């Protein structure tokens, strides 16, 4: 066993030591577990909470858990949640106000009055596409011109442990978005789960000082060339399995010029404007502000809540909604994701996780829509 270096091989039976080291440092481990027929993210006590022997089948509008024929701990891709709720909670109290005896209001807007969850989270099992999604949201919430202090605090405190993908769902297309299936940087520790015969190991790569010190506390062997080759073969298998792709060549210009495409009306007839795709998307960041009061009228609160560009209210400006048709709202979402996001943030707003395909109740698939729009553009 070695206790130093940036890479190592951790036996499956020693993985609990990683949880123990994370918890001993004060982190709250959060990772995948089985609940309500899905793989969800939740607080974990240790390896026993991981979804051993579970995988999933995903297709447009379809998600089913299924038993594997091995005991892989991370033998699946992505569930309905990304890490977004832990960095950008669905609802956040911004401030509260109490009526005072002299007829005024006392405003409470300090962190103590509107407490945030300040526990440091250890994200365990972050997929490469979701790591890229966090980095996309960093551009939005950590922009030095208008940083979001709640997001900044949660992000600063978080520990990121990636698990590289060893398989892909039929809905995955991260390879074509250049966001997976292997993360090369941006993590504290990256694990690749390798099952070969009776051997069940994790090839670990530390990407930060914290990651190196964690690895040093966990019993491990030195990673040899054969281990690194086995890890590379895992991610190559995921790449080969990738069920979908998007041709990104010239895509921002193509979509910006497709304002009048007849696909938007066709999509408007199928889309339910339910907003599922925006809720599950790891990069969507829109929110609204709600003011609420109690029945006495003496107490008021202001909350920030996730919003969706699929609602009529989202584009309501002075007496009317700008995007009245569902087709216009789908167009806004898709063009923002794949085109104008580049203008705003210098990157795509899509990381190819496939969640919007799986969790769309009518199975609308952006990887099928983009070629149709491209095809119509080329005939114009």
Judged by beta carbon, residue 202 or residue 310, the one nearer ligand SF4 is 310
Binding mask 75-114 for ligand SF4 (x = CB under 6 A): ----------------------------------------
Can you tell me which of 7, 55, 81, 283 binds ligand SF4, judged by CB under 6 A? 283
Helix, coil or strand: residue 82: coil
Judged by beta carbon, residue 73 or residue 356, the one nearer ligand SF4 is 356
Q: In what order do the strands lie in the sheet with 299-306?
A: 105-108, 91-99, 299-306, 287-293
- Dihedral, CA atoms, 333, 338, 344, 346, nearest 10 degrees? 160
Can you tell me which of 274, 300, 312, 372 binds ligand SF4, judged by CB under 6 A? 274
Q: Residue 321: how many CA atoms within 13 Å on its side-chain side? A: 13
Name the token pair of 81. 């949640």
Q: Is 356 in the site for ligand SF4 (CB under 6 A)?
A: yes
Q: Is 337 in the site for ligand SF4 (CB under 6 A)?
A: yes
Measured CA to CA, the distance from residue 337 to residue 115 in angstroms comes to: 32
Q: Is 215 in the site for ligand SF4 (CB under 6 A)?
A: no
Q: Is 58 in the site for ligand SF4 (CB under 6 A)?
A: no
38-43 and 28-35 beta bridge pairing: antiparallel
Q: Is 277 in the site for ligand SF4 (CB under 6 A)?
A: yes
Q: Is 72 in the site for ligand SF4 (CB under 6 A)?
A: no
Can you tell me which of 87, 194, 238, 350 binds ligand SF4, judged by CB under 6 A? 350
HEC string for 133-193: HHHHHHHHHCCCCCCCHHHHHHHHHCEEEEECCCCCCCCCCHHHHCCCCCCCCCCCEEEEE
Measured CA to CA, the distance from residue 352 to residue 2 in angstroms comes to: 37
Nearest distance in Å: CB 122, ligand SF4: 23
Residues in contact with ligand SF4, total (CB under 6 A)? 24
Place of tokens 């890229």: 132
Q: Is 17 in the site for ligand SF4 (CB under 6 A)?
A: no
Interface with ligand SF4 (CB under 6 A): 271-277, 280-283, 310, 337, 350-356, 360-362, 364
């Amino acid at each position: 066993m070695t206790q130093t270096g940036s890479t190592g091989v951790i036996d499956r039976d020693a993985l609990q030591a990683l949880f123990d080291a994370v918890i001993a440092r004060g982190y709250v481990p959060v990772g995948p577990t089985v609940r309500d027929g899905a793989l969800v993210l939740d607080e974990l006590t240790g390896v026993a909470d991981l979804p051993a022997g579970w995988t999933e089948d995903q297709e447009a509008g379809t998600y089913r858990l299924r038993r594997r024929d091995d005991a892989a701990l991370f033998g699946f891709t992505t569930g309905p949640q990304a890490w977004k709720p832990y960095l950008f909670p669905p609802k956040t109290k911004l401030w509260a106000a109490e009526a005072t005896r002299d007829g005024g209001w006392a405003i409470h807007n300090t962190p103590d009055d509107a407490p945030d969850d300040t526990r440091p989270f250890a994200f365990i099992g972050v997929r490469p596409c979701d790591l890229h999604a966090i980095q996309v949201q960093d551009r939005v919430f950590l922009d030095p011109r208008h940083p979001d202090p709640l997001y900044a605090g949660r992000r600063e405190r978080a520990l990121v442990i990636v698990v590289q993908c060893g398989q892909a769902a039929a809905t995955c297309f991260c390879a074509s978005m250049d966001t997976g299936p292997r993360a090369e940087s941006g993590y504290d520790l990256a694990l690749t789960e390798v099952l070969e015969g009776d051997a069940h190991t994790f090839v670990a790569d530390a990407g930060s000082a914290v990651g190196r010190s964690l690895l040093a506390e966990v019993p491990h062997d030195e990673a040899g060339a054969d281990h690194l080759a086995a890890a590379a073969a895992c991610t190559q298998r995921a790449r080969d399995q990738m069920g979908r792709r998007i041709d990104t060549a010239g895509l921002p210009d193509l979509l910006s010029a497709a304002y009048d495409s007849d696909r938007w009306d066709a999509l408007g007839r199928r889309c339910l404007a339910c907003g599922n795709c925006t809720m599950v998307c790891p990069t969507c960041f829109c929110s609204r502000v709600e003011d609420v009061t109690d029945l006495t009228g003496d107490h008021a609160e202001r909350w920030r809540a996730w919003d969706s560009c699929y609602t009529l209210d989202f584009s309501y400006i002075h007496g009317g909604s700008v995007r009245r048709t569902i087709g216009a709202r789908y167009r806004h979402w898709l063009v923002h994701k794949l085109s104008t996001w580049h203008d705003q943030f210098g990157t795509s707003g899509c990381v190819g996780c496939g969640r919007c395909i799986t969790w769309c109740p009518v199975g609308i698939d952006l990887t099928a829509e983009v070629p149709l729009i491209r095809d119509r553009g080329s005939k114009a």
